[in-house]
Chains A and B, each alone.
Chain A
Amino acid sequence: MASLSPVRTVSTESNRNNVSVKSNPSVGTPQRFSLPPKSSVAADSGQRFKISALKVFYGPKEVLHGININISSNVVTAIIGPSGCGKSTLLRSLNRMTETVRRARMEGEVLLDGENIMNMDVVRLRRRVGMVFQRPNPFPKSIFDNVAYGLRINGHKGSLAAAVEHSLRRAALWDEVKDQLHKSAYALSGGQQQRLCIARALAVDPEVLLLDEPCSALDPVTTAKIEELLFQLKPSCTIVIVTHNMQQAARASDSTAFLLEGRLIEYQPTPKLFTTPSDPRTEAYITGRFG
């Protein structure tokens, strides 16, 4: 079975972020994982991403209007907002996946550890910044070959088997699949496939992991496992997660950014954004008045 601590539900008073989301019947009670309380949010171990005046166009349409945001290292940053607000576009611009769309155009500056990503070799960028997608998309290959894919194309030196095992352990999947590494990835359940995709992304040892609504196609138990996973990865990896599930943002992230219609409305440490948001639109969104 997975090597995670069992999930326990607790009362609203104590939870990891000390957040009690403003009472509203539709929001519900966040859950807590039985782990030692994390360190303070404003862990300024550095700014991983410095984004200035970022604009993204799909053809003539301007989808992001001048975003300015700094993503801190080794924390979980959540991006929330209603459908169509540009959160996925913002995420995808961080590893230049917007380029896969034919008529996409980026303007502005995105610095990864001080280096402009536009001038970087895109292959190198995508090794440092990995991505997990909304629906699990394992390749039609074996479990082993899926995890080893990134290693092989980037020229891994040393034992593939060891690296694959390491990644699968980090993704909390090793115990479930260690005896069937040569089976097709499609034989796994949806939640396992998503964790396999996380393992695949982790295999090349990225500094940043971008997740685009990774749990939207999964059940609550699997979702909890993955959130636990992110918590464990945090010390070694900067995590940016797009989610339309506010409770998830509230439980699992250290900072949260709220986007609306392609603009960054508010960006705060998570407890503050969910208890005392500065902008009335943020408050309207998190209390469920729209979205």
Chain B
Amino acid sequence: MQAPTNVIERATLWHGPRAFFRRLRTGDEVAHIITLIFAAVVVGITALLVYQLWIQSVLSRQKFGWAFFFTHVWDPLAGQFGALPFLYGTLVTAAIGLCLAVPLGLGTAIFLSEFSPPRVSDSLAFLVDLLAAVPSVIYGLLGIFIMVPWLRTTVEPALKSTLGFLPLFQGPTYGVGFLAAGLILAVMVVPFIVSVSREVLIAVPREQREAALALGATRWETIWKAVVPFAKSGIIGSVFLALARALGETMAVTMVIGNDPKVSASLFAPGYSIAAVIANEFTEATGNLYLSALIELGLVLFVLTFVLNGLARLLVLATTTRGAAHE
């Protein structure tokens, strides 16, 4: 007979080294350890990735320091590597992409969550999800053969003749260039904005809508003045997510951006992006410094997307865990 006070916790009811082996025999500890090891492998791989990016870019980091980001010369033969053209290209194309994708995506999301009947909304949302699954290289294929000629023959000349007084729309119209890359990015990130925004909009409690409608607001006024502001942080989160995707997009961009490491004011001019230059020049990089510079660009891209993704997730979390209490 035992003393009457036995205390046990959870499924692990014994303590001490002898007990460890007893637990081991039941197999639960073993399973716990094995799955934990595999989970640790994931962490290990990620850590190794960051480590490699850091270590392999050391040559370039030490040689150029912070000036790397402000030098616009990219001359492999002379051993001069500056990241400015690629940063510029990445940011400009992403900006164009977002300027077009956010209204389009938000509008679509609003239609799907507020205006359309549920079944239509679900089927269309499914089709938009399929769009998100289309590989980048296929977008690039259509970009090269369909979009670029269209830009070159129709759109860019039209823009030039109407808005040509702006430096944005001057210069020869090749078709390839910042505008083309920005357009294709817009098409590629719209599905992400739509699917996340639609979810956060649907999650807005119906009391918000009902309060506005009861005050005599039209459907649109309800949406724009009550629902969308409530879901604001989630929508902004979706934009950050889209931005992170746009920054990392490689294939479609490199197929239509023109691959010219120059900073230009005109949207018609060919340019370059971080991901595109890595894709094009990695296999031809002669010399450790060249490779190191490219890997440093990869590190920059990693940090940018890491920060953006982190912010995005926080914002989306903030909206979906928000209760009825608002502001």
Contact between chains at A116 and B6 (CB < 8 Å): yes
- Tell whether B2 is near chain A: CB-to-CB under 8 Å: yes
A119 to B13, CA, bound (A): 9
Contact between chains at A105 and B7 (CB < 8 Å): yes
Contact between chains at A99 and B6 (CB < 8 Å): no
Residues of B contacting A116 with CB < 8 Å?
1-2, 6
A102 to B10, CA, bound (A): 5
A256 to B119, CA, bound (A): 54
Contact between chains at A123 and B2 (CB < 8 Å): no
- Tell whether A2 is near chain B: CB-to-CB under 8 Å: no
Other-chain contact of B2, A99, A100, A104, A119 (Cβ < 8 Å)? A119
- Tell whether B44 is near chain A: CB-to-CB under 8 Å: no
- Tell whether A161 is near chain B: CB-to-CB under 8 Å: no
Give A124-147 as 1s and 0s: 1 = Cβ < 8 Å from B's Cβ atoms: 000000000000000000000000
- Tell whether B130 is near chain A: CB-to-CB under 8 Å: no
A123 to B26, CA, bound (A): 9
**Which A residues from 79 to 110 make CB contacts under 8 A with B?**
99-100, 102-109
> Given A53-B4, A119-B2, A123-B26: A104 and B13 within 8 A (CB)?
no
Contact between chains at A108 and B5 (CB < 8 Å): yes
> Given A99-B13, A118-B13, A123-B26: A109 and B7 within 8 A (CB)?
no
Contact between chains at A106 and B10 (CB < 8 Å): no
Contact between chains at B8 and A105 (CB < 8 Å): yes
CB distance from B190 to the nearest CB of A (A): 39
- Tell whether A247 is near chain B: CB-to-CB under 8 Å: no
- Tell whether A287 is near chain B: CB-to-CB under 8 Å: no
Contact between chains at B8 and A106 (CB < 8 Å): yes
A52 to B4, CA, bound (A): 8
Residues of B contacting A119 with CB < 8 Å?
2, 6
A116 to B6, CA, bound (A): 10
Residues of A contacting B1 with CB < 8 Å?
116
Looking across the interface, which residue of chain B has its beta carbon closest to that of A55? B5
Contact between chains at A118 and B5 (CB < 8 Å): no
Contact between chains at B6 and A109 (CB < 8 Å): yes
Residues of A contacting B6 with CB < 8 Å?
106-109, 116, 118-119
Contact between chains at B11 and A100 (CB < 8 Å): yes
A160 to B318, CA, bound (A): 54
A106 to B4, CA, bound (A): 11
Contact between chains at B9 and A118 (CB < 8 Å): no
Which of B2, B8, B9, B11 gathers the greatest number of chain A CB atoms within 10 Å? B8
Residues of A contacting B10 with CB < 8 Å?
99, 102-104
Contact between chains at B2 and A118 (CB < 8 Å): yes
Residues of A contacting B5 with CB < 8 Å?
107-108
A108 to B7, CA, bound (A): 8
Contact between chains at B7 and A99 (CB < 8 Å): no
Residues of A contacting B2 with CB < 8 Å?
109, 116, 118-119
Residues of B contacting A122 with CB < 8 Å?
13
A109 to B8, CA, bound (A): 12
**Which B residues from 1 to 35 make CB contacts under 8 A with A?**
1-2, 4-11, 13, 26
CB distance from A110 to the nearest CB of B (A): 9
Residues of A contacting B7 with CB < 8 Å?
105-107
Looking across the interface, which residue of chain B has its beta carbon closest to that of A116? B2
Looking across the interface, which residue of chain B has its beta carbon closest to that of A98? B8
Give B201-230 as 1s and 0s: 1 = Cβ < 8 Å from A's Cβ atoms: 000000000000000000000000000000
CB distance from A104 to the nearest CB of B (A): 7
A102 to B12, CA, bound (A): 10
Looking across the interface, which residue of chain A has its beta carbon closest to that of B26? A123
A123 to B13, CA, bound (A): 13
Contact between chains at A105 and B9 (CB < 8 Å): yes
Looking across the interface, which residue of chain A has its beta carbon closest to that of B2? A116
Looking across the interface, which residue of chain B has its beta carbon closest to that of A52? B4
Residues of A contacting B26 with CB < 8 Å?
123
Give B120-157 as 1s and 0s: 1 = Cβ < 8 Å from A's Cβ atoms: 00000000000000000000000000000000000000
A52 to B3, CA, bound (A): 11
A106 to B11, CA, bound (A): 12
CB distance from A98 to the nearest CB of B (A): 9
Residues of B contacting A109 with CB < 8 Å?
2, 4, 6
A53 to B4, CA, bound (A): 8
CB distance from B6 to the nearest CB of A (A): 4
Looking across the interface, which residue of chain B has its beta carbon closest to that of A54? B4
CB distance from B109 to the nearest CB of A (A): 36
Give A32-63 as 1s and 0s: 1 = Cβ < 8 Å from B's Cβ atoms: 00000000000000000000110000000000
A100 to B13, CA, bound (A): 12
Give A167-210 as 1s and 0s: 1 = Cβ < 8 Å from B's Cβ atoms: 00000000000000000000000000000000000000000000
Residues of A contacting B4 with CB < 8 Å?
52-53, 108-109
Residues of A contacting B13 with CB < 8 Å?
99, 118, 122
A105 to B10, CA, bound (A): 7
CB distance from A62 to the nearest CB of B (A): 13
Looking across the interface, which residue of chain A has its beta carbon closest to that of B3? A109
Looking across the interface, which residue of chain A has its beta carbon closest to that of B8? A106
Looking across the interface, which residue of chain B has its beta carbon closest to that of A110? B6
Looking across the interface, which residue of chain B has its beta carbon closest to that of A99? B11
Given A108-B4, A109-B4, 13 further pairs, Cβ under 8 A: A52-B4, A99-B10, A99-B11, A100-B11, A103-B10, A105-B8, A106-B7, A106-B8, A107-B5, A108-B6, A109-B2, A118-B6, A122-B13
Q: List 18 A-B contacts (CB under 8 A).
A: A52-B4, A100-B11, A102-B10, A105-B9, A106-B6, A106-B7, A107-B6, A107-B7, A108-B4, A109-B2, A109-B4, A116-B6, A118-B2, A118-B6, A118-B8, A118-B13, A119-B2, A119-B6
> Which 5 residue pairs of A and B lie closest in terms of their CB atoms, listed nearest first?
A118-B6, A109-B4, A116-B2, A99-B11, A53-B4
